[in-house]
Structure 1
């Protein structure tokens, strides 16, 4: 647990309030409105300011790029609380004579990560929207004994905000996934209909059965936005399609080597070169997974710096594929969906590491922290 305590002399705040710039500099619009509506504005202002100071102390003085206005003291049923940089704080505020006293505490990891403005991309949703406004995603994944991949991809997509997720799977695993996934629509893959879908994710643990070729051709000829992962890359190589940069592929180093027919050592030596080669050859956005994941297309390049070695675990790539596909159906352009998806995935993994350690981190832990990572990437 992390605790911060602050005691503040009310007369000091009373004097500062004489300067009209003081409130605007240190308080949010909602806080200013609450202060101005109070019968004892100076005491209320001092209490809120003390709470902000207490939170900073609970963070060990590490603001991680935050301003005082970003530390907003809110109220639910007249009980103060705060949600700062992805961390929930319990807050108490009291007054004793000439002093305001506040205690702030959290049992959560006090994030030291500074989220750059370019990655604050999640905007507040319009109140008058419905699930159809946030995209329909079709996922083709999974095979007998490999039910984890479709589970992770589907759940990650929903946690990242897509409105509807349709999972097309083999009949022999339909019952298993129907039990595991409550929010996803489960269908057999011989009854697929792509007409109303906004994007398609295919490949995680998909295997190489005969009917897969027809499904692949129907998907690639549908002109839908695509994410191609894992076994889906086999079919991309087999047919050599140029996909017009509407598709994102997510290979690791060995998969990129197989896709291009080169030795993996060459990929290791010059990853950017071969990521660009694949991008140009297939006309796709390439997400080359690994330490400092590379996102590449013909015009843009991004090197990611979130994530940790604990994410080198079964299912982590399926989570990433689901995140990227979810952003794609929500309207992000292909390169941006890949860039922000990779960043979000790594950020969630970094948050999960602090709770579970790099040794114990598993794919479901990354999904657990997607909401907190999104909160940290919200537009202020």
Structure 2
């Protein structure tokens, strides 16, 4: 079953106009929290991917030991080297102030498992939830969630992006029967997490949001309208990607999903658009768009470099991948009249489940 036309149209409506009507920052301010001493590439890839997708400002919140390397990779990034032990009170104040200025937060790329970094990740997650932010959790943020799934249970403004092993560990943490239908595992994990959107990465990316059986407390903390119905949504994205599986491609996915979530927040706030898409639909739309975009950028990079492909080869392809998926007008703005601005169908995307996104 192909992705319904209205899903593509909803994704398209989240894209900010490029017509000079918006001020700096109104097309998305994204944050990436991660970057320990040994892991400086991951937050760079996530933050710069969000930039390449089209966000206006991209911040990296990292350990002081990681900041010089990250700054040297890209002067476009705003780097905050504040995650240093042991002054947690000072860090909390800085995080609260910083996150209040962002539209979405990605937690996990390059985070590591040192106790103080994990503590700061939990702190940032609590602050972000209090502020109603959209979230992406990846890499060692998923290890953190595995230790305490109540950290995100019921927070429906979050997207998690587990790989095969991360998905297995999370499924075990919430006691999903491993003999369950493989095509239903992502939906079951979403249900166990109270409606958090799951991207189960694999040969086909399975994106699921399952809010059936959500408790009143889950609904309360997720900014859900009283009249909103419980439902299950599943999308399959098997658009061709590159055949090289080098490290860092998941960070590009996190950054791409984060960018669309930031746009969703701008859309929700009325910076542009008509608020016609409910906030609870935004995580699944962002996840679908991010998966499509990452796979297409990967394919384009692989076509040029083959076995030698590195994740950094994907970054210059994001713009053309965006144009390929969403049309010339969406990529360049209305002053370039040659593109139709229409989304293509039959791009190797399938959908299913009990409801449409």
Q: TM exceeds 0.5?
A: yes
Structure 1 equivalent of residue 220 of structure 2: none
Rounded Cα–Cα distance in structure 1 between residues aligned with 2:208 and 2:26:
28
Tell me how far 1:213 sits from its aligned partner: 2.2
The structure-2 alpha-carbon separation of the partners of 1:135 and 1:124, relative to structure 1 and needing over 3 Å to count, comes to closer
Q: Show the counterpart of 2:222.
A: none
Asked if structure 2 preserves the Cα contact closer than 8 Å seen for 1:213 and 1:235, the reply is no
Asked if 1:237 is matched to 2:149, the reply is: no
Return the alpha-carbon distance in structure 2 between the equivalents of residues 311 and 362 of structure 1: 8
Deviation at 1:217, TM superposition (A): 3.6
Counterpart residue number, 1:129: 22
1:352 is matched with 301
Distance 1:214 1:353 in 2: 36
- Classify the secondary structure of the residue corresponding to 1:134: coil
Using the alignment, how far apart are the partners of 1:195 and 1:129 within structure 2? 20
Residue 168 in structure 1 maps to residue 61 in structure 2: yes
Q: Select the residue among 197, 211, 217 that pairs with 1:285.
A: 197
Q: Could you tell me which of 105, 111, 114 is aligned with 1:206? A: 111
The equivalent residue for 2:137 is 228
**Contact map agreement 2:108 2:138 (CA 8 A) in 1:** yes
1:144 match: 37
Deviation at 1:307, TM superposition (A): 3.3
CA radius of gyration, larger in: 1
Mapped partners of 1:259, 1:285: distance in 2:
13
Alignment partners' CA distance in 1, 2:147 and 2:291: 27
* Residues 51-90 of structure 1: pairs in structure 2 closer than 5 A: none
Q: Give the aligned partner of residue 271 of structure 2.
A: none
Q: From the superposition, tell whether residues 157 and 207 of structure 1 become closer, same or farther in structure 2 (CA, over 3 Å).
A: same
Query: Is residue 141–residue 202 contact of structure 1 (8 Å, CA) maintained in 2?
Result: yes
Pairs aligned (count) = 264
Shift of 1:268: 9.7
- What is the CA-CA distance between 1:124 and the residue it aligns to? 4.2
2:125 aligns with 219
Q: CA deviation at 1:187?
A: 0.2
Give CA deviations for 1:158-205 in whole Å, capped at 9, x if unaligned.
000111111001001111111112111000234423112211101112
Give runs of aligned pairs for residues 1-380 of structure 1, distance below 5 A.
Answer: 119=8, 121=12, 122=15, 124-188=17-81, 189=83, 190=91, 191-192=94-95, 193-211=98-116, 212-220=118-126, 221-222=129-130, 223-241=132-150, 242-261=153-172, 270-282=181-193, 283-298=195-210, 299-331=232-264, 333-357=282-306, 359-376=307-324, 377-378=326-327, 379-380=341-342
Q: Partners in 2 of 1:218 and 1:168 — Cα distance?
A: 10
Task: Tell me the secondary structure at the aligned position of residue 137 of structure 1.
Answer: strand
- TM-score, with length taken from structure 2: 0.68
Distance 1:206 1:356 in 2: 29
Unaligned runs of 5+ in 1: 1-115
